[in-house]
Amino acid sequence: MTGLESAATRPRHLAIIMDGNGRWAYRRHLPRVAGHRRGAEVVREMVQSCVELGVGHLTLFAFSTENWRRPPLEVRLLMNLFRLMLRREARRLHENGVRLRIIGDRRALDGDIVTLIEEAETLTADNDRLTLNLAVNYGGRWDVAQAARTAALELQRQGRDLAELDEASIAPHLALADSPEPDLLIRTGGEERISNFLIWQMAYTEFYFTEVLWPDFDRDALEQALRSFAQRQRRFGRTGDQLLEDACGSE
């Protein structure tokens, strides 16, 4: 695949907002749950593609803290689909060397779902081909708030002043503290916003928005997004000339 032969042009960490399941179903005169079911199949395909392409971390926005506002029937169907995914896919992920982690506030989830999460995470904990993070009942503001709260309590236990609270003390308590920050965010479905997703971690993330609905997002669409990423110059606050000088100096 052109532009992706080198690890330097491949994202280490890919984040995706999977949008468009409901519209996909509506256009086919199907119930919304049919779109969610097809979307779950695409998740399996994306995981396999990321393993093959050498992407080390994949984070998917599966259910936000705001999604509880959806009709109760749809919420129940989504939670049942999540249960089914955990039961069916944990073993498959393990056999393919994928580590599964669920990020988000688990307190609002049913007890049996939490048990399934813990079992799947334990089963796959030592795998290292790909880390798959599923954000469930996750919000970026929640993430920052809980990390800041935990950091503040830690300072208090150490007898230190809360005025010492800074980025370095908060960062280790974020949901993805042990993963590199996302290099690329893909949002499907035509919307161009981050919807309270990884707001701390995406300070320097490249964004890629596509009209393709999530159930139609295939390997070709993924490779198109990765080619776009490979052509970008990531400066992290520096100038293009500085990057050029560094590149020349390393030769």
Candidates 67, 96, 127, 196; catalytic one: 67
Question: What does the angle CA 186 – CA 191 – CA 194 come to, to the nearest 5 degrees?
Answer: 60
What is the predicted pLDDT for the residue at 25?
Answer: 97
Is 67 part of the annotated catalytic residue set? yes
Question: 130 near 147, Cβ under 8 Å?
Answer: no
Tell me the pLDDT band of 239, cut-offs 50, 70 and 90.
Answer: low
Q: What is the mean pLDDT of the chain?
A: 92
Over residues 34-62, the pLDDT tens digits come to 999 999 999 999 999 999 999 999 999 99
Average of pLDDT values for 245-249? 58
Over residues 185-228, the pLDDT tens digits come to 999 999 999 999 999 999 999 999 999 999 999 999 999 999 99
* CB count in 10 Å sphere of residue 188: 26
Over residues 11-34, the pLDDT tens digits come to 999 999 999 999 999 999 999 999
Is 143 part of the annotated catalytic residue set? no
Over residues 157-188, the pLDDT tens digits come to 999 999 999 999 999 999 999 999 999 999 99
98-103 and 184-187 beta bridge pairing: unpaired
Rg (CA), the chain: 19
What is the predicted pLDDT for the residue at 159?
Answer: 96
pTM (whole model) above 0.85:
yes
Burial of 136 (0-12, 13-18, 19+ CB in 10 A): buried
